[in-house]
Chains A and B, each alone.
Chain A
Amino acid sequence: MNATTNSMQESPEKPAASTSQARSKSAVQIQNLSFSYGSTETLKNITLHLDRNAVTAFIGPSGCGKSTLLRCINRMNDEIIGTRITAGKIIVEDIDIHDPSVDVVKLRRDVGMVFQKSNPFPRSIFENVAFGLRMRGIRNKAVIEQSVEESLRAAALWDEVKDRLNESALGLSGGQQQRLCIARTIAVKPLVVLMDEPCSALDPIATAKVEELIWSLKKDYTFVVVTHNMHQASRVSEKTAFFYMGEMIEFGETTKMFTNPAVKRTEDYISGRFG
Chain B
Amino acid sequence: MFNPENLIRKGPPKGYFKDVLVRGLLGGITYLMVLIAVLLFAKIIVDGAPAIFTSKFPFVDVEFLTAKNETLHVFDDAKGTRHQLPASKYSEYLNAHPGQEIYNEQTFSYSGGGIAGPIVGTALLTCGSIILALFFGVCAAIYLAEYAKQSPFIHAVQLAILNLAGIPSIVFGLFGFSVFVLAAPVITASPIDRSLLVLPLLIEGWALSFQGWNSSLMAGCATLACMILPVVITASEESLRAVPQGFRDASLAMGGTRWQTIRKCVLPFSLPGILTSSLLAITRVAGETAPIMFTAAVAAKDDFPWEGLTNPFGILSSQVQALPYHIYTLAARIPSSEYTQRAQFGSVLVFLILVAVLSFGSMILRAKMRKKLKW
Binding site for B on A (CB under 8 A): 74, 76, 79, 81, 105-110, 112-113, 115, 117, 119-122, 131-132, 134-136, 170, 181, 184-185, 188
B253 at the interface (CB under 8 A from A): yes
Min distance, Cβ A135 to any Cβ of chain B, angstroms: 5
8 sampled A-B residue pairs with Cβ under 8 A: A108-B253, A108-B256, A109-B254, A115-B250, A119-B246, A119-B250, A132-B255, A136-B255
Q: Which of A107, A122, A170, A181 has the most CB of B within 10 A?
A: A122
Shortest distance in angstroms between B241's beta carbon and chain A's nearest beta carbon? 15
Q: Is A106 a contact of B255 with CB atoms below 8 Å?
A: yes
A222 to B244 CA separation, bound complex (whole angstroms): 28
Contact of A108 among B248, B252, B374 (CB under 8 A): B252
Partner of B251, one of A110, A122, A131, A170: A131
Task: Kindly provide the distance from the CB of A235 to the nearest chain B CB, expressed in whole angstroms.
Answer: 25
Question: Do A131 and B246 touch (CB < 8 A)?
Answer: no
Chain B interface, number of residues (Cβ within 8 angstroms): 22
Q: List the one stretch of B13-21, B257-265, B338-346 in contact with chain A.
A: B257-265
| A120 vs B375: C-alpha distance when bound (angstroms) | 9
Contact status A135-B249, CB under 8 Å: no
Contact check, B255 vs A109: say whether CB atoms are below 8 A apart: yes
CB pair A184–B246 under 8 Å, yes or no, is: no
- Residues from chain A with a CB closer than 8 A to the CB of B374 are 122, 170
Interface status of B149 (Cβ within 8 A of chain A):
yes
Check if B150 is an interface residue, CB within 8 A of chain A: yes
Contact: B254 with A131, CB < 8 Å? yes
Check B254–A188 contact: CB distance below 8 A. yes
- With a cutoff of 8 Å between Cβ atoms, the chain B residues found around residue A110 in the complex are 255
A184 touches B247 (CB 8 A): no
- Do residues B264 and A119 form an inter-chain contact, with CB atoms below 8 A? no
Flag if A76 contacts B249 (CB, 8 Å): yes
Given the known interface contacts A76-B249, A119-B244, the answer about A188 and B150 at a Cβ–Cβ threshold of 8 Å is no
Contacts of A117 in B (CB 8 A): 246
B180 in contact (CB, < 8 A): no
Mask for B357-375, Cβ within 8 A of A = 1, else 0? 0000000000000000111
Structural contact, B250 and A135, CB atoms closer than 8 A: no
Q: Is the CB of B257 within 8 A of A105?
A: yes
Check if A76 sits within 8 Å of B253, measured CB to CB: yes
The 3 tightest CB contacts between A and B, nearest first, are A119-B246, A109-B255, A113-B253
B150 with A132: CB separation less than 8 A: no
Q: How far is the CA of A181 from the CA of B247 in the complex (A)?
A: 11
Contact B253–A112 (Cβ < 8 Å): yes
Please state if B150 and A81 are interface contacts (CB–CB under 8 Å): yes
Q: For the complex, what is the distance from the CA of A181 to the CA of B255, rounded to whole Å?
A: 14
**Cβ of B256: which chain A residues have Cβ within 8 Å of it?**
105, 108, 132, 135
Chain A residues closer than 8 Å to B264, beta-carbon distance: 131, 134-135
